[in-house]
Structure 1
Amino acid sequence: MIALSFTDFRKNMASSFDRVDAGEFVFINRGNKKKYAIVLMDDDDLSITPKMAEKIEKARKEYQEGKTLKFESAKDAQKWMEEL
């Protein structure tokens, strides 16, 4: 992981994108309160396909029917995952 000021990002854009391509997290701080992340995307990430829409609707229905898991803490969720 690397966090850069906006100025440093502008000076090192190519290497920042190379790091993201290599799987590293790159964050950019702009001013005191604004933070951004560079994320690698492909064309499929830019739209909701019919298949994805089906999955979203199924998840909404399961949620409405109470068929979802709820954990009191991240530790409880981690414990549940480790027991799978």
Structure 2
Amino acid sequence: MSTSTKNSQPPEDDDEFRERLRDLPPSAKLVAKVLEIDAPLSQGQLADESLLPDRTVRYALNRLDDEDLVDSRYSFQDARKQVYSLAD
């Protein structure tokens, strides 16, 4: 489990956020929920937290990114990795 203590809220109006998630696959919804609870997380951390395979997490992140629902930045702890959070 991750040790992050920052809770992230859906960045937009909750109804609009949910509407944009509605047509996405279940994996994207799960990744969004994990990010809502505990962000920022790397792809590997998301896989650990969601119990999804890395490939599925990568697909989910791509779908969330296509809908502009997720932001990424390079990790301060390891600049080779990106960390993800819900978009503002």
TM, length-normalised to structure 1: 0.29
Larger-Rg structure? 1
TM, length-normalised to structure 2: 0.28
Q: Which has the higher contact order (CA 8 A, sep 6+)?
A: 2
